Amino acid sequence: MRSRARDDARRANIAPSSLDDGGMARARRAVNVSSEGNYEDHRACSFCVRYVLYLPTDHRSVRARRREIHTVRIVPPPPEAKTNGLFGVVSGAEDGTVMRLLYDASRAEGLRLYAPGDVCKHPGGRTVKALSVFKESERSYILCAGGAKEVLLAFRLAWVRDDAGAWDIKSTALVIPKPVDEAGARSWTKGCGYVEPRAESAQRIMDVAAYATPSGKMRVLYSTSRGSVSTVAMREDKRGWRKVSSLAYHTCPTLAVDVLETSSGAWACSGSTDGAVAVWRLDDSASISPTCLIERAHQSGVNALCISRSTTEGSFLIVSGGDDQKLRCQEIVIDADGAAPDRVAEFDFAHSSAVRSVWSDGARIITTSVDQRVKFWEIVSNDDEFALIQREGVVTQAPEPEAVDVLSSTDATDTLTFAVAGRGFEIFTAHR
């Protein structure tokens, strides 16, 4: 530790001879070296909490899972708590649990992550692959969770105050369907009383995106490991789902979907293991065909998609990352006939391993990869240029990161708070 502090001191222009305990602390603060603390969750599984300050980012690392986290979502705070740095975090993991925690930047360091708890256990204890959060009101959100056996769950997450006035998240189950096994998969062996195990559905939900129709009704778009893409509506009174639309194009596993809400309707994109990206105009038709196709967007699987508004009027952007390590930004122009691909910006070998998750607001991009890097990119879009420029990057302490979700500040600070999840997760706060 002391040798590392000496190296940090040289970088911070602090004399090595001054490295008593106070000097070591000053060196850490100057070059953003980590210190550690501990926390325990509801299953008595230790949290390893690291406090690391990077320029321009600070993050809190939490290893709260025995198995890898596949998906993570941030629940925005209620209006009364937006200035306090409070928000919720929900995650879905390989062990089938959907877990939630609270983060409060106003609390003392080491206590900012608190109140862990399970929202649910996936039926059969199987993998939770994807989460999506739909805003009902300023204090209420619907959490949709998809995973094994093509089971789609729904919960209401509501911000409430306890008797002491502290904020908490209360979860209520809305839809928990039973897994459906394939017909005819159960057989009996006469004479010995042996029952052949049922063959479970091999199809799993790979990604989920909840969105609002122009009338404000919730719809859920999801993709599966067999290539099907569908939209469904929740029937809260029946505690189930009603199929609305079938989006027919992909014939191989569809790994990622995303939706952009506009005043005139919703646009969606989907990506599959053959490297293709399809663009859809969503409505409540029983069958929907793609508006346009990008057949070789990536050389192999499209692991991550983010559709966002563009700085150019009459267009939107589709940011994608794949197994080929490429980061791609496709401009889609809306016309009278629907939409068509226009300019494209690509960055080969954006990471040294497969790109697993992307986020964009139309001007900035955040990417994560198996190489444990979190990278920040700028989209340059004008009449003369359309390009991706790498700006910053940090190393995440969570191994095998698979997912990222971002909460943008609503004030003039232009702060991005985001969670990166893998075998554990980290919370970052990045400033311009």
* pLDDT tens profile 413-425: 778 888 999 988 8
Least confident range from 237-241, 270-274, 364-368: namely 237-241
What integer pLDDT is reported at residue 414 of this predicted model?
Answer: 76
pTM: 0.81
What integer pLDDT is reported at residue 235 of this predicted model?
Answer: 92
What integer pLDDT is reported at residue 263 of this predicted model?
Answer: 79
Between residues 426 and 76, the one the model is more confident about? 76
Helix (H) or strand (E) holding 105: none
Residue 343 lies in a domain: yes
Assign 183 a pLDDT band (cuts: 50, 70, 90): low
- 123 by DSSP, 3-state: which? helix
Identify the bridge partners of residue 72 per DSSP, sorted by sequence position.
Answer: 91
Q: Give dist(CA 153, CA 148) in Å, integer.
A: 11
Instruction: Give which of 28, 35, 38 is closest to 8, Cα–Cα.
Output: 28
**79-100: string of b/e by CB count within 10 Å (b at 16+)?**
eebeeebbbbbbbbbbbbbbbb
> Is residue 303 over pLDDT 60?
yes
Say which CATH number the domain at 319 has: 2.130.10.10
Tracing tokens 């953003």 back to the chain, one arrives at: 32
What integer pLDDT is reported at residue 189 of this predicted model?
Answer: 47
Average pLDDT of the residues in 345-369:
95
Identify the bridge partners of residue 270 per DSSP, sorted by sequence position.
Answer: 257, 278
What are the distances in angstroms from CA 317 to CA 60, 105, 162, 238, 241?
31, 33, 42, 37, 30
Assign 213 a pLDDT band (cuts: 50, 70, 90): very high
**313-339: string of b/e by CB count within 10 Å (b at 16+)?**
eebbbbbbbbbbbbbbbbbbebeeeeb
Residue 104 lies in a domain: no
Least confident range from 12-21, 259-268, 397-406: namely 12-21
Q: Give dist(CA 145, CA 131) in Å, integer.
A: 5
Identify the bridge partners of residue 87 per DSSP, sorted by sequence position.
Answer: 103
> Is residue 137 over pLDDT 70?
yes
What integer pLDDT is reported at residue 67 of this predicted model?
Answer: 65
Q: Give dist(CA 205, CA 146) in Å, integer.
A: 5
What integer pLDDT is reported at residue 8 of this predicted model?
Answer: 41
Residue 74 lies in a domain: no
Q: Give dist(CA 378, CA 391) in Å, integer.
A: 7
Give the DSSP per-residue string, 18-80: G-SHHHHHHHHHHHT--EEEEEE-TTSPEEEEEEEE-SSEEEEEE---SS-EEEEEEEPPPGG
Residue 247 lies in a domain: yes
Assign 41 a pLDDT band (cuts: 50, 70, 90): very low
SS3 content of the chain, % helix, strand, coil (to 5): 10, 55, 35
Residue 234 lies in a domain: yes
Least confident range from 33-37, 124-128, 349-353, 375-379: namely 33-37
272-289 pLDDT tens trace: 999 999 999 999 999 999
Domains in the chain, number:
1
Written in H, E and C, the secondary structure of 183-223 is CCCCCEECCCCEECCCCCCCCCEEEEEEEECCCCCEEEEEE
Between residues 15 and 113, the one the model is more confident about? 113
Identify the bridge partners of residue 101 per DSSP, sorted by sequence position.
Answer: 89
> Is residue 291 over pLDDT 90?
yes
Between residues 324 and 393, the one the model is more confident about? 324
Contact 148, 206 (CB under 8 A): no
Q: Give dist(CA 341, CA 331) in Å, integer.
A: 6
Percent of the chain with pLDDT over 90: 56
What are the two backbone dihedrals, phi and then psi, of residue 318, each rounded to the nearest 5 degrees?
-120, 115
* Residue 147 DSSP one-character state: E
- 330 by DSSP, 3-state: which? strand
What is the rounded average pLDDT for all residues in the chain?
A: 81
> Is residue 195 over pLDDT 70?
no
| Residues 6+ away with beta carbon under 8 Å from 262 | none
Tracing tokens 């009704």 back to the chain, one arrives at: 217
Average pLDDT of the residues in 259-268:
90
Tracing tokens 């240029």 back to the chain, one arrives at: 385
> Is residue 141 over pLDDT 90?
yes
> Is residue 58 over pLDDT 90?
no
Instruction: Give which of 287, 275, 284 is closest to 251, Cα–Cα.
Output: 275
Residue 367 lies in a domain: yes
Instruction: Kindly state the tokens that stand for 127.
Output: 């993998």
Q: Give dist(CA 61, CA 229) in Å, integer.
A: 34
Residue 376 lies in a domain: yes
Residue 126 lies in a domain: no
Percent of the chain with pLDDT over 70: 78
Assign 320 a pLDDT band (cuts: 50, 70, 90): very high
> Is residue 188 over pLDDT 50?
no
95-124 pLDDT tens trace: 899 999 999 888 888 788 888 899 998 886
The residue range of the domain holding 279 is 203-395
